[in-house]
Amino acid sequence: MLRLPQFNFVHARTLDEAASVLSGEGNELVRLVAGGTDLWPNMKRRHQQATTVVSLMGIPGLAGIDVNGEIHIGATTLLSDVVAHPAVRERYPAFATAVQSISSPPLRNMGTIGGNLCVDTRCTYYNQTEEWRRAIDYCMKAEGEICWVATSSPRCWAHTATDSAPMACALGARVKLLSKDGERMIPIEDLYRDDGIQYLAKRPDEILTGLYLPAEATADRCRSAFWKLRRRGSIDFAVLSAAAALWTAPDGTVEKARIYLGAVASRPLAAQESADFLIGKKLDAEVIAEAARLTRKVATPMDNTDFQTQWRGTMVQRYTEAALREAAGMDPGRLGPKHGLPVVE
């Protein structure tokens, strides 16, 4: 049985208390926890360490969904509550689909939206047992000096593992960050860095407190879709995902497009050339196929999952095409398990 190491546990009663502990002086390594579906297993396997863990669960006002012109989702809102919320499902169906694709029902009943946005990056050589990693020598993400994905690389190539972030990026969402110095709002794409170890661009003393889905990306203004590839139809992390959001004129001409790929880099990856190609065009099979083909120029999956890199690269194009076809109201075809929204009585 894998056991947690010893650490100090702080059940913060307010955000100010959590921020104070997080910014404390000294050599303590402080981590935040909400649902714990990622941190606790990682600490058991010694992937992540902490001398102090601060729980955000139970802090008043940090959970819940507020609907106005935009939708604000508090950081400790359960993933299952996001999927079930009628306004999220109606206004941002592709985002609800992305959240629905995360893991399994028991874990969505524990995991939080803030936790998924900040979930640790993953890699075949990192997400193993302590004994396995020690046997081949630790990688640079866990105490070692080498990246086993690219042995001559000076950086870590672990890939982003969040399913909610690519779709949130495509919709143009924002996140709010809080520290002892105050609050700031940033575009969600600015939350991430293309580095497998230092994958979050927020300061170590900042707490992600909320996600804001913009009014201009609601379903009556924007057509969107999310497709995810993984080994099994549930539970597993993505080996790639494609999120597309399209804004069109009354005559069907694309006025704005945003396409983001997940699990092919250390951050959600913008397929900017593909999105730009769609501007000014009407969506048909040929236009969509060419836009999807252009994603291969930016997506370079590496040997950091259990699927071959060449096949993943091909599937980037296929899954982007499926997402764009669905967003355009066309038959996307069948490439794998489709994560439709469940019926809510």
Class of domain 65-118+159-194+202-217 (CATH, top level): alpha beta
Beta strand ranges found along the chain (DSSP E):
8-11, 30-33, 52-55, 65-67, 71-74, 174-179, 182-187, 207-213, 223-229, 240-248, 254-262, 269-270
In this prediction, residue 345 has a pLDDT band, given cuts at 50, 70 and 90, of very low
Largest CA distance in the chain: 62
Average pLDDT over all residues of the chain:
93
Of 100-104, 106-110, 113-117, 303-307, the one with minimum mean pLDDT is: 303-307
- Angle formed by the axes of helices 285-294 and 309-327, to 10°? 140
- For residue 48, the Cα-to-chain-centroid distance in whole angstroms is 19
Is the pLDDT confidence value at 338 over 60? no
What is the mean predicted confidence (pLDDT) over 248-276? Answer: 97
Task: Quote the tokens at residue 276.
Answer: 């730009």
Determine the Cα angle at 55 with ends 80 and 50, to 5°.
120
Residue 208: HSE in the Cβ half-sphere, 13 Å Cα cutoff: 31
Is the pLDDT confidence value at 339 over 60? no
In this prediction, residue 143 carries a pLDDT of 85
DSSP states of 197-244: SS-B-S-TT-EEEEEEE-GGGSTTT-EEEEEEE-SSSSSSPPSEEEEE
In this prediction, residue 317 carries a pLDDT of 95
Other residues' Cβ atoms within 10 Å of the Cβ of residue 139: 25
Give the span between the Cα atoms of 344 and 124, in whole angstroms. 36
**Multiple choice CATH, 223-327, 1.10.579.10, 3.40.50.2300, 3.30.390.50, 3.90.480.20:** 3.30.390.50
In this prediction, residue 205 has a pLDDT band, given cuts at 50, 70 and 90, of very high
Residue ranges per domain, the chain? 65-118+159-194+202-217, 123-157, 223-327
Give the span between the Cα atoms of 133 and 16, in whole angstroms. 38
In this prediction, residue 335 carries a pLDDT of 66
Q: Tell me the per-residue pLDDT of 17-42, one tens digit each, with 9 for 90 and over.
A: 999 999 886 668 999 999 999 999 99
Of 107-116, 139-148, 155-164, 323-332, the one with minimum mean pLDDT is: 139-148
Q: Tell me the per-residue pLDDT of 290-311, one tens digit each, with 9 for 90 and over.
A: 999 999 989 888 888 878 888 8
Give the span between the Cα atoms of 315 and 302, in whole angstroms. 13
Is the pLDDT confidence value at 337 over 60? no
Q: Tell me the per-residue pLDDT of 71-100, one tens digit each, with 9 for 90 and over.
A: 999 999 999 999 999 999 999 999 999 999
* Inter-CA distances, 211 with 171, 189, 316, Å: 12, 12, 27
In this prediction, residue 301 carries a pLDDT of 83
In this prediction, residue 129 carries a pLDDT of 87
In this prediction, residue 340 has a pLDDT band, given cuts at 50, 70 and 90, of low
In this prediction, residue 113 carries a pLDDT of 98
In this prediction, residue 130 carries a pLDDT of 85
> Percentage of the chain surpassing pLDDT 70?
96
pTM score of the predicted model = 0.94
